[in-house]
Chains A and B, each alone.
Chain A
Amino acid sequence: MAANVGIPPAVTDESAAYWAAAAEGRLLVEHCGACGAESFPPYGICRSCRGRATAPVEVTGRGVVYSLTVNHQRWMPGLEVPYALVLVEFPDHPGVRVFGRLRGCEPEEAAIGMAVDVGFEPGPGGCAIPSFVAVAASPDHGPGSGPAVPGAV
């Protein structure tokens, strides 16, 4: 599929693992070896206990839409509209909220509280961007089923 139009990220030492995993369809956040808390985005320090022994950990399982917007404005040439953007939180990963696109349903069907699976799509500059998958439209999972498979890029 064609890559989504946007502005590519400047990859830093802190974010390199995130973007590399994204290209593999995996969502990484930062896990604290001392207290077990998870933080996002990655800063190399635990936002809970301020421990420095952090390491990437993969987020799997269902997410829940905290809030959203459906963008209708063509901010850049070639940007296809409308599309839904969702802020996703994970019941099993407190402290983690990730902004991404939504697919698997019409943009107008996006709603606060809806369940989504982790997924990625091609983004600008060769990166992969979070593109969550509406659960109702996900063929592998009925409502309330087990952990999600990593999304395909």
Chain B
Amino acid sequence: MGADLFERRAVISGVGQSAIGRQVDRSGFQLTLDAVLAAIADAGLTVDDIDGLAMFPGGGKANLPGYANGNLYEVQDALRITTRWRQGVVEGMCMPFHGPAMAVATGQARHAVIWRTVKEGSAARNAGGRPAYGSTNPMAEGPLAWLLPVGALSPVCQVAPYAARYMHEYGATREQLAWIPVTQRAHAALNPDAVYRTPLSVDDYLSARMISTPICLYDCDVPADGATAIVVSAAETAPDLRAPVAIEAMAGVVDGRPSWEQWEDMGRVGYATAAALWERTDLRPADVDVAQLYDGFTIECVWWLEAMGFCKPGEAGAFVEGGSRIALGGELPLNTWGGQLSGGRLHAAFGHVAEAVRQVRGEAGARQVPGARVAAVTNVGGYEAGAALLTTWSG
């Protein structure tokens, strides 16, 4: 199926990351260059091969405390390259490589880089706590006008009602959902680049302080400093590439009200995107060897486990309980790099994509899933959503 899908005319050719940590004593611009250069080298390309540049988010008002992408034109100038395609994106992101894949699939560029750089760990430290979303502006504009004035001052408060509703409808418990951050922490122990690597127990989780019920400290991803870059190349350049990865399918559908507080059914998120993804491939959920599911919060993993069909609606609690199914060696190893909950909030699925690429290449080191050939990766959910399947390149 799907030989004419645009994503089949693109490959992910490189991923690269800067140093990652709670605080990295290096500017966002330097982190960006570190990641971009590493990704280009990983692809087996040279800087002069790059003719497309993109970043998430673009400039302007999207830049929040710790959003440290820099300016696209300064990065182009610093690299001394010529670009035939450029993009800064928030809306319509789907997956980080969606725009670059469209660019190379339509001949607008041959090798496009997209990057995401965060200094949210440093920003949180400097602010004495995690900055409120949008708090750099004195007034709450657009959709934030219905959130920030009433006291829903953080994404935690905005997502927590989804978790409350989910647990109410399906009877899932904190004791069950704890196994997502607990298992991901065990994976992070095998990732030298993860932010938190010391063991986390279910008891640790249950005794952690509440941030906004039912979301506790360990349900929240870790503000971090670091940059991730992804190189996307036209499929016909595969012979020039060190280790290309195929994009089997990708989709991003927003079918409900695109608003944190107006989303109609808070117990179910991501279903339209997942359905659109599976329509583009003959692969089935059982074919997935490893899953990198977006985890800004634990509940987002729950959405995707169910929407993607890895378990039935309402059954994620039972699916993750005990951790054996989602651990390395289990039927669906989940967020093998630690996810954003332990690996660091690299944001917008950039960390998830980097890990998916490494897994299907067989380059994931101590946390490698033996023989992994199909990786699922998802982004956010709700008012922006993306899902993709990446597979080992077979020419």
Contact = CB atoms under 8 A, between A and B. Distances in A.
Nearest to A99: B261
Contacts of A100: 150
B129 interface: yes
B168 A99 contact: no
B145 A15 contact: yes
B145 A85 contact: no
Contacts of B322: none
A75 B153 contact: yes
Given A10-B145, A72-B212, A83 B151 contact: yes
Interface string A66-86: 111111111110010001010
A85 B164 contact: no
Nearest to A71: B212
Nearest to B260: A99
Interface stretch (B9-17, B131-139, B338-346): B131-139
Nearest to A112: B168
The secondary-structure label for the interface of chain B is: loop
Contacts of B168: 67, 112
A69 B262 contact: no
A62 interface: no
B126 interface: no
A66 B168 CA distance: 10
B164 A112 contact: yes
Interface residues of B, number: 40
Interface in A1-38: 4-12, 15
Contact of B153 (A6, A67, A112): A6
Nearest to B134: A7
Contacts of B165: 66-67, 112
A87 B140 contact: no
Interface stretch (A53-61, A123-131, A133-141, A144-152): A123-131
Interface in A79-108: 79, 83, 85, 87, 97, 99-101
Contact of B139 (A8, A67, A73): A8
Given A85-B150, A85-B152, A127-B149, A10 B140 contact: yes
A15 B138 CA distance: 18
Nearest to B211: A73
B145 A9 contact: yes
Interface residues of A, number: 38
A41 interface: yes
A101 B142 CA distance: 20
Contact of A97 (B134, B157, B214, B261): B261
B275 interface: no
Interface centre among B129, B162, B211, B261 (most CB of A within 10 A): B261
18 contacts: A6-B153, A7-B140, A7-B148, A8-B138, A10-B142, A67-B161, A67-B162, A71-B151, A71-B156, A71-B213, A72-B210, A72-B211, A74-B129, A75-B130, A75-B153, A112-B165, A112-B168, A125-B139
Given A9-B148, A69-B164, 10 more contacts: A7-B134, A15-B145, A67-B164, A72-B213, A73-B212, A85-B152, A101-B151, A112-B168, A123-B150, A125-B139
